[in-house]
Structure 1
């Protein structure tokens, strides 16, 4: 696989994608956890589990996004 070219616009796009993954997944974890806690009456349990699960999804997505940029410099 070839390495992507270096450009300031590409870097800004990459930063915005990474921040979007983290923010959206965190909000999804909070809202889904609160909804499940309300539904099953288990105060902070699902909130905590859901936040950690969605943050794991976010960091996996970030890793897959930056994977082409990792590696040896030529």
Structure 2
């Protein structure tokens, strides 16, 4: 699909989807890590693991989203 066929609202929708994908997955990883740390007594371990796992999941989701957006499907 050519760039001339895209509308500004589609670009805003893509940016908001990227933001929600990254922020949501990182926040979910942090909250899950904090919950596991509180229940298991391992204070910073699962917080860091959850943060990194959430970041990795968010980046993977963004790559899939952008690929889907630019492939024209």
Q: Structure 1 regions of 5+ residues with no counterpart?
A: none
How many residues get paired?
68
1:44 Cα deviation (Å)?
A: 0.3
Determine the C-alpha separation between the residues in 2 that align with 1:31 and 1:64: 24
More helix by share: 2
Which position in structure 2 is the counterpart of 1:29?
29
How large is the RMSD of aligned CA atoms in angstroms? Answer: 1.5
Counterpart secondary structure, 2:43? coil
Q: Any idea what SS the aligned residue of 1:35 has?
A: helix
TM-aligned CA deviation for residue 23 of structure 1? 1.0
Quote the residue 2:15 is aligned against: 15
Q: Which runs of 4+ in 1 moved over 4 A?
A: none
Q: Unaligned stretches of 5+ in structure 2? A: none
